[in-house]
Amino acid sequence: MEHTEKIYFYKGELVKVRHNLLNVPIMMVDKVNLPKDFTRGGEEKGKVKRILQGVQCIWFDKNGTLNEHNFNTKDLVKVNK
């Protein structure tokens, strides 16, 4: 398993989708959905694991409409100013 550096996103940061898509908008992090606890089953029954629910981003499309969507942290990269 390869080790990757952990990247943290904070409210107000500018980000974009990592993938090469046409017309990728520059988005702003609106909020980071806090981790939720859940109890594991199976062999590790009873252990609590925390899972991040995603990063909510907002952006305006070419028509001026405000959009918002939750993204996985692996799908986002920070935009340098």
pLDDT digits over 18-74, tens only? 998 888 999 999 998 876 666 666 666 667 776 777 899 999 999 999 999 999 988
- Using a cut of 0.85, tell me whether the model's pTM lies above it: no
The whole-angstrom separation of Cα 15 and Cα 27 is 5
